Amino acid sequence: MEFMTGEWFGRLFGVLVVNLILSGDNAVVIAMAARTLEGANRKKAIVFGAAGAVVLRIIFAGVITLLLEVPLLQVAGGLLLVYIAWGLVHEDDNDDDDEEKVKAGSSTWQAVRIIIVADAVMSLDNVIALVQAARIGGEVDFVLLIIGLATTIPLVIFGAALLTSLLNRFPILVYAGAGLLVYLAVEMIFADKVTHPYLEHYETFEWIIGLVAAAIFVVIAWLWTRRSTRSGAE
């Protein structure tokens, strides 16, 4: 497998962007779970909780990498990425309520348990997107995947406030991340064992199709947001 090529660095950039965009909610959940702890106990809960969550993500990544060889599963994964992208752009107002429902741990180890369980429930979409972002020529580049999983730790531990402020200040980052997920979804649909024989004639234009699909998605998502905002104002 090629290493340190232009495509490899392009994929690395994609992995980091996917991780950055999708780690925000997880970072907030971790902050909520450890909010009642102080000083060293809070730091310990966040570090151990994030470490346990990353171990689970590694297991998920291994399982998903194997399952992607199952016929039509990549098509399903691609459609799931589109759904995730839509949810990323149009987060429901209830999301804030859901975050408030995250129970705060009364002890370090209780907070660690809450963090690991909550992250396990929320991280499946992250892992699917990361596995696809780390694929080169139809195969998962495990160096890229490991980099993606490893960068989860600092992003989640140190990124709650930063990620929230960045995404709130620059909404275009959310749309860019959603567009990237749609592009990855197109790749997954092209690579599936069932659909590939029918689409291989268009492989030369796959990246163009991916970009067009991402652009159309972003425009529709933006118009939908604009329409919703107007309806709310009225």
Helix, strand or coil for residue 53? helix
- Domain range for 148: 6-229
More reliable by pLDDT, 183 or 125: 183
Helix, strand or coil for residue 102? coil
Contacts of 42 (CB under 8 A, 6+ apart): 34
In Å, what is the CA distance from 99 to each residue of 96, 116, 127? 5, 15, 21
> Which residue from 22, 117, 126 is spatially nearest to 77, judged by alpha carbons?
126
pLDDT tens-digit readout, 147-201: 888 777 777 666 655 665 666 677 787 888 888 889 989 988 998 889 989 998 9
φ/ψ region of 135 (left if φ > 0, alpha if ψ in -120 to 50, else beta) reads beta
Q: Residue 119 domain-assigned?
A: yes
Q: How many residues comprise the chain?
A: 234
pTM: 0.68
Q: Residue 25 domain-assigned?
A: yes
Q: What is the pLDDT of residue 63?
A: 85
Binned at pLDDT 50, 70 and 90, residue 94 comes out as very low
Beta bridge partners of 136: 139
Q: Residue 144 domain-assigned?
A: yes
**Pair of tokens at residue 170:** 């620059």
Q: Residue 135 domain-assigned?
A: yes
| Helix residue ranges, H only, 90-123 | 94-100, 108-122
H or E element that contains 92: none
Beta bridge partners of 187: none
Q: Residue 1 domain-assigned?
A: no
Contacts of 10 (CB under 8 A, 6+ apart): none
Strand stretches in the chain, DSSP E? 135-136, 139-140
Q: Residue 35 domain-assigned?
A: yes
Number of domains in the chain: 1
Amino acid at 56: L
Which residue bears the tokens 């570090």? Answer: 47
Q: Residue 234 domain-assigned?
A: no
